[in-house]
Amino acid sequence: MAKRDYYDVLGVTRGASTDEIKKAYRQKAKELHPDRNMTDNSCEARFKEVNEAYECLKDDQKKAAYDRFGHQAFENGGGFGGRGGHPGDFGSAFADVFEDLFGDMMGRRGGGGGRTRAQRGQDLRYNLRVTLEEAYQGLQKKITVPGSVTCEECNGTGAEGAIEPTTCPTCSGMGKVRAQQGFFTVERTCPTCAGQGQIVKNPCKSCAGAGRIERERTLSVNIPAGVETGTRIRLAGEGEAGMRGGPSGDLYIFVEVQEHAIFLRDGKMLACQVPVSMVTATLGGEVEVPSIDGGRSRVKVPAGSQTGRQMRLRGKGMPPLRHGAGAHGEPGDMLIELTVETPVNLTARQKELLREFESVKADNSPQSTSFFNKVKGFWDDMTS
């Protein structure tokens, strides 16, 4: 069977640049890879055909020979091309773009200078509970954080006497080794250095070559005014120490504001239920209410107030969450919700006065009057 034109196989024109050819190959290779097409047996042959075409066209000398003589340039052992060999030997073609296709997943680092030897430490999380008063005022709080710190004996190198580790001879500092399996190039973690890229000949006795040790630390955390449950505070470089001198991770403080015995919070708004006597609610008067800053406010209760009536105290809520030296927005308000309290433990005289009041036929209970009028109309409709 006659071979297809290599340019047609890759879907490019004869004047295509090297980058265009490589891009076309990458798309075809991912599309036809046997691992992605296990139920289509034809994909394996087409995949080999694509690799063969790329092996020829990626090489300037082979490409020039192919442009001039076509497939005959490589028949009968033709030695065109700087490396010799047949374009059908596509293992090197696949390896050439292996890094582009799978390099990020395999832990490759760019620039050709080998992998990063020092490893960044892990980030840490600390759950911090504060009171509503502390959230209102803001504060400096000391916390104790368990974790790893840089070993002082070896200065994080992991080697006795702080001697710098040597490059691993097996992987040349890459941390990975490659093995050719057919037309696949497989990367594995280097067994000699366990992926570190370096070897410590004389490990530090304090940290056993890790470059870090376990130790609790006491830190001072600035809790800004206005924090609420879910607020996250980042302390850069206060996480786990890196391996063998690598940079430390970060510490994230997750704030939880405890429930308060008096106030309910909704963002910057505070709410407070205040009981008032039946007499005060009926005749009107004043009631004293607390505020989150420790102060007191006197609130006028209008005559005839019912349970659930709300009044607003401007600026008596929570402050806005401050960022740096400034603040965004104005403080919130506090809502006062009245709860009319029914009297208990009445004397005989008090009960007598209430019965006397109840017997007065006056329009002094508008809600009851309205409700029972609706009930009467409902019963009349049901019996009619």
pLDDT digits (tens, 9 = 90+) for 273-305: 999 999 999 999 999 999 999 999 999 999 999
347 in the same domain as 314: yes
The pLDDT value recorded for residue 362 is 55
43 is in an annotated binding site: no
120 in the same domain as 252: yes
199, part of any domain? no
| Mean pLDDT for all residues in the chain | 81
Of the listed ranges 19-23, 104-108, 134-138, 193-197, the least confidently predicted one is 104-108
pLDDT > 90: percent of the chain:
34
250 in the same domain as 378: no
Q: Which domain-ending residue is among 221, 242, 258?
A: 258
pLDDT band at 88 (very low <50, low <70, confident <90, very high): very low
168 is in an annotated binding site: yes
Structure tokens at 134: 């502390």
137 in the same domain as 64: no
- Distance, in Å, from the CA atom of 255 to the CA atom of 266, rounded to the nearest integer, reads 16
Q: Specify the number of domains making up the chain.
A: 3
239 in the same domain as 356: no
DSSP 37-66: -TT-THHHHHHHHHHHHHHHHTSHHHHHHH
The Cα diameter of the chain in Å comes to: 126
- Average pLDDT for residues 120-147, to the nearest whole number? 92
126 in the same domain as 50: no
315 in the same domain as 216: no
Closest listed residue to residue 158, CA positions, set 206, 197, 191: 206
44, part of any domain? yes
Residue with tokens 């036809």: 32
Structure tokens at 295: 């102060």
The torsion angles phi and psi of 40, rounded to 5 degrees, stand at -115, 100
The pLDDT value recorded for residue 116 is 41
268 in the same domain as 376: yes
56 is in an annotated binding site: no
Cβ atoms of 16 and 63 closer than 8 Å:
no
362 in the same domain as 279: yes
88, part of any domain? no
356 in the same domain as 302: yes
- Distance, in Å, from the CA atom of 100 to the CA atom of 93, rounded to the nearest integer, reads 12
15, part of any domain? yes
- Of 94-98, 142-146, 190-194, where does the model show the most confidence? 142-146
Domain that holds residue 287: 260-322+329-383
302, part of any domain? yes
The pLDDT value recorded for residue 328 is 58
pLDDT > 70: percent of the chain:
82
351 in the same domain as 282: yes
Q: Which domain-ending residue is among 55, 72, 89?
A: 72
CATH number of 343's domain: 2.60.260.20
Cβ atoms of 227 and 218 closer than 8 Å:
no
312, part of any domain? yes
Q: Which domain-ending residue is among 72, 99, 132?
A: 72
162, part of any domain? no
52, part of any domain? yes
67 in the same domain as 7: yes
171 is in an annotated binding site: yes
151 is in an annotated binding site: yes
The pLDDT value recorded for residue 89 is 47
